[in-house]
Chain A
Amino acid sequence: MSLCFTLAANAASFSLFSRKPDGPAIYKQQCAKCHGVAGQGVKDKYSDALVGDWSVEKLTRYIAKTMPEDKPGSCTGPHADAVARYIYDAFYSREARARNKPARVELVRLTNRQNLLAVADLFRASEEPKVTPGKGLAAVGYKSRTTRREDKVLERNDTKIEFDFGKGRPEWAGEGTNGFALNWTGSVIADESGDYEFVVKTANGIRLWVNDDDKPLIDGSVSSFKGVEHTATLRLIGGRAYPLRLEFFKTSRDPLANVTLLWQPPHGARQVIPARNLAPERAATTFILSTPFPADDSSVGYERGVSVSKEWDEAVTHVAIEVATHVTKNLDRLTRSKPNDKDRAEKVAAFCAELVAKAFRRPLTDEQKNLFVTLPLRSAAKLEDGVKRVVLLTLKSPRFLYLGIEGAQPDDFTVAERLSFGLWDSLPDAALMKAAGEGKLRTREEVTAQARRMLADARTRGKVQYFLHRWLQMNHIEDLTKDPNLYPGFTPEIISDLRTSLNLFLDDVVWTDSSDYRRLVLEDDFFVNSRLAKFYGINTEATEDFVRVQLDPKQRSGVITHPYLLAAFSYNKSSSPIHRGVFLTRNIVGRALRPPPIAVAFKDADFKPGMTMREKITELTRPQACHSCHAVINPLGFALENFDAVGRFRDKDGNRPVDTAADYTQDDGGVVRLKGARDIAEFAVKSEHAHNAFIEQLFNQVVKQPLPAYGNDTLNQLRLSFVQSGYNIQKLLVDIATVSALHGIEKPASTTKKKS
């Protein structure tokens, strides 16, 4: 890019300035009326703040070419340079922003997710049974409809529950006239958090229990032979196993026998529950709130608890009541005592004290014990009401609801809390509390060792999935259906399979030893089942379950080319280079974008028939106002034009060959020629910008505080360590957890002793 220096001409128009242009003065004179005196923006003029990631040089060129708006070309050369430098140093750059408004660790309340998980973990046993997903459920068969021990004739594992016995009897049931029965037990593993609809299709009698050992979720023991579909919906937390039991029986009168166990997971299609979500061992039940919450503030790109509202206060109150009801209903089990036991009151008080300490994440002082346990227990005539009062008080207490309110000095329990909410969004477990109690969370080594231990817990997987889904914007995707005439066969089942495929891929990258971030964008292995293989024309041995296949590396490159995301960032009838480009800009190459200055809707009918998508978008974003951003967005989006609206590879857009080559302008003004997805991926894995963006997004989602609040050099340190580790995501996670846990505690030397 060449720039003309027209100093003479401009000197005339800026005659009031001396020979050495005065940046602040020019800004005040020419820019402030639209951008505000401190670049904060002016309503009805240019309301966005002047902040961003361009270099001074790029800013200078932009100003010279386009500013001021009513007289572009009138501020160039040294004038443009001076004003650009002033803007950059005064408020535009990251450093200036950090200086002007130093980020700080704010007081935050629990997010909704944290509240839900913390309540679940309040009742979690310290030892959870191990379950091994993939093996299906344990089955026991009986040769009569009753399930008497002497009628037991079968024990085996069933990878899925989908049986049609027809009019006869299965071979294992032998001869007989009194029907037969099957009981399945084990666990069901939820991949994602949300509402799961369980479905049992059968012509016979069934009962189904999920995450509740007493009350069946579905009681279909009375049946009318016709194929009946029983359904019931249950909220589950992703990444956890739940006990499941299904009883099935055929009486002598039932003409047919069949049973299928299905579900519709959140974001998924109704399907037979696959083997990978079933395990033969019984998991422990999890207490899951049914209270709905008002959405958390996520205006800065991640959910955080920086505000309270009446709706929130009422939800929190509901939660407290729901938990109080749960506790009183299960008081015998929870306190291991019976109503008439002599030591009932004692046991109940001890249980309450334990519950409060768990909820507050620290041991109680005598004063607190009195205030939160003894007094409320004593205040009610009935023991149960006293217990309810303890729970209500505890769950409405700021000590439960807020993080880091220990007061003047963070201590060992603060570290434990930061680690557990960082990695799990939940309460510290017994091991962490023990370490805190013994003063073993004081050195960097100790904290890092705990973080590493915690990585192995399923809750960390849940948290990482939570991050990845936000990084890839998968949490917003609700409807991926496309025009059925243009994309026949792109069914809800395919969409559901694609999400599973992407989840499997993400898990595979993060949870193998190398945990290499670069694989996320460079990998050419994908997970497909037979349905996906058929739709996407992939040659592989057909199987119902997902297998890893290698695709053409010239075509596919990691998440960038995963059809789920390609379809998500597409229109109903066509690809959308803008949506794809914006996603790549922000989340893969890590550039900041402002909201569009003018709203322009894409209407296909506005364009001449026969134009390619690329031509249409080029036309659409031609106006000068679009340029500053679309010069970045479009080349990235065009590089993916090889993929249609459902993510299938294509050479042609309509009848015209696809052109994916485009020049991408870097933040320093340098230009890179990109010819396809792999070029973007290779550019990204080498880009500091991209690394920083990934680290900062992970940090924000994990810690829920602004990264700059943890020190000016923290991002840099994290990146150096990340690069050194071979871009190991697990290692980065441990680093982030450690940095945030030790914030304000760690002295320069990690061996600093603290008095206890």
Chain B
Amino acid sequence: MIYEEVPYGSRTRRTLTGAARVLFALQIDGPLVAGLGLIAAFGLIVLYSASGQSTGTVVRTVMRLTLGTVAMLLLARVNPNFLRRSTPWLYAAGVFLLLIVAAFGHTGLGAQRWLNLGLFRFQPSELMKLAVPMTCAWYLYERPLPPSVLSLVALAGLILLPVGLVALEPDLGTAALIAVAGALVIVLAGLRARVMLALLAIAAVCAWFGWSFMHDYQRRRVLTFLNPQTDPLGAGYHIIQSQIAIGSGGVFGKGWMNGSQAQLEFLPERSTDFVFAVVGEEFGLLGLLLLLLLYLFVVARSIYLATQTQDTFARLLAGSIALTFFVYVLINAGMVTGLLPVVGVPLPLVSYGGSSVVTLLAGFGILMALYSRRKLVGS
């Protein structure tokens, strides 16, 4: 099977206006990029306030966004076949880098997750966020779907190897996200409902088994993790303060740069993992709804694009990228509002820091690459 550009296909035969021509030339999707741009712009406004009016934070974020955009534009032009063929190599390289990190990694904030490459530091686990779903999609590309049990075992191995290495860093949040990205590929590939239920049942049994073997202090730790409010000065402090921030924001918010919880530093991690609470405090329920609406739009558009792609690899990968993005949003919002345990998952495109912005935009670049080469020319 060969993908080919069809510049004069039915869809593009219409006369294109200037802007559309540029988008077409860049092979990017206008609505998707617009949605991402609006989220990033809103994010910069929030970040300026949340960082305590730090221009440096904003400038660094703009630089990361620029870097991410460049990655996105470049990847959008890549031929999906090339992408698919290079997937095993990418995966192997990622696992190799994770092993190096485990051996010599630079320690930051108590966890070994960085590789110092001289000019910049690089987190191989970020690479795996894309490499793992790519690998799963690559594995399933030529196999009949829904996947066989043998395939599932192989996929589980492919997912758990990098997930285990990341979890050992220890970076449980990223490990979970990598696992989710891989698992979503399998689910989209048609994993049977009864298998899913069986897996859930096995997980429940394991949890019960583990619980019964735990010491009291370990159980308390698990309970505190699941319900941080029981430890108001320790683990619960973050979540209590973030609920106060969101709740006190009300419907209309306290106004930009006027959230006392954020500005007076009662809210920890205010510009990183808990930036969602700053939006809630300063822009209120309306601000949060606007932000969620933008995210929903981006995800809906991405899923639409995924359904328009033409082969299994493209579909599964594009679908996983789209849905993983929204899983980030849900986990972060759930954690900040006290619905989920606190795990270190940033709010996509808004939270400050890390290479996650670049990874996210690179993912959308790949998604657009997969979409723009959708026209199948039969051999």
The reply to whether chain A is a binding partner of chain B is: no
A residues at B contact (CB < 8 Å): none
